[in-house]
Amino acid sequence: MNHKLELRNVIKTFNSEEGKIKALEDINLNVKPNEFLCIIGPSGCGKTTLLRLIAGLDHPSSGEIILDGKEVKEPSPDRGMVFQEFSLFPWRTVIKNVTFGLETQRIDKEEQYRIANEYLELVGLKGFENCYPYELSGGMKQRVAIARALAMDPSILLMDEPFGSVDAQTRNVLQEELLEIWKRTKKT
């Protein structure tokens, strides 16, 4: 069976004044294409560390992370990441935040805006293209972050407690919307 993502005996240790701390120990995981997977656990158990390793933002102390048959060694546009904290550029409008990653690709401006508008509509932010982050609610900011990640057409979308910074009612709405987005995009 072909797996979209494979983690093989992944270990991550950090050095501290008291010695080495194992954040992750012998993690083995196979994720199928188009699978929606949640990693749950208490604070401090290594969920964010694991996502950072998959994203290529950090390296395992030992073991392998394989995405689409290739070892993950560094960040790449094939892995979209949405963080818990609002990670928008305050000096850029909503549409310019979404086109940010596209600007590094060889895509003309007209196509960048077409793609950005497509994903802004998908996340329910059509009509807010020219707003700045300070004009948006927390839930709207996270929708922009999701649109920005999806606009890069990543092979896999990683989300680190993306709704942890919003109130419970907004979180419930955004969780339902995320499921609808997943059904439409079929992203892993």
- Total of domains in the chain: 2
Residue 164 has what pLDDT?
A: 77
Reading the block at residue 75, the tokens are 């960040």
Residue 187 has pLDDT above 90, yes or no: no
**Mean pLDDT, to the nearest integer, of 144-164?**
87
Please tell me whether residues 21 and 95 are part of one structural domain: no
pLDDT at 55: 93
Strand extents, DSSP E, the chain: 5-16, 19-31, 62-67, 70-71, 79-82, 156-159
The Cα 139–Cα 113 span in angstroms is 22
Is the Cα dihedral 104, 138, 181, 68 positive or negative? positive
Render the burial of 7-35: b for 16+ CB within 10 Å, e for the rest: bbebebeeeeeeeeeebbeebeeebeeee
Residue 53 CA to residue 59 CA, distance in Å, equals 6
Q: How confident is the model at residue 1 (pLDDT cuts 50, 70, 90)?
A: low
Residue range of the domain that includes 128: 77-188
Rounded CA-CA distance 31/59 in Å is 19
Residue 56: strand, helix, or coil: coil
Q: Which of 50, 75, 100 is the last residue of a domain?
A: 75
CATH number, domain containing residue 159 = 3.40.50.300
Angle at 174 between CA 171 and CA 180, to 5 degrees: 150
Region 168-183: mean pLDDT is 80
Q: What distance in Å separates the CA atoms of residue 4 and residue 60, rounded to the nearest whole number?
A: 19
Residue 53 sits in the same domain as residue 84: no
Q: Judge contact between 61 and 27, C-beta under 8 A.
A: no
Is 106 found in the same domain as 67? no
Question: Which residue among 28, 60, 75 closes a domain?
Answer: 75
Tell me what the mean pLDDT of segment 121-131 comes to.
93
Residue where a domain stops, chosen among 75, 101, 132: 75
- Report residue 99's pLDDT band, with 50, 70 and 90 as the boundaries: very high
| Same domain flag for 101 and 180 | yes
Domain match, 175 and 95 both? yes
Residues 7 and 56 in one domain: yes
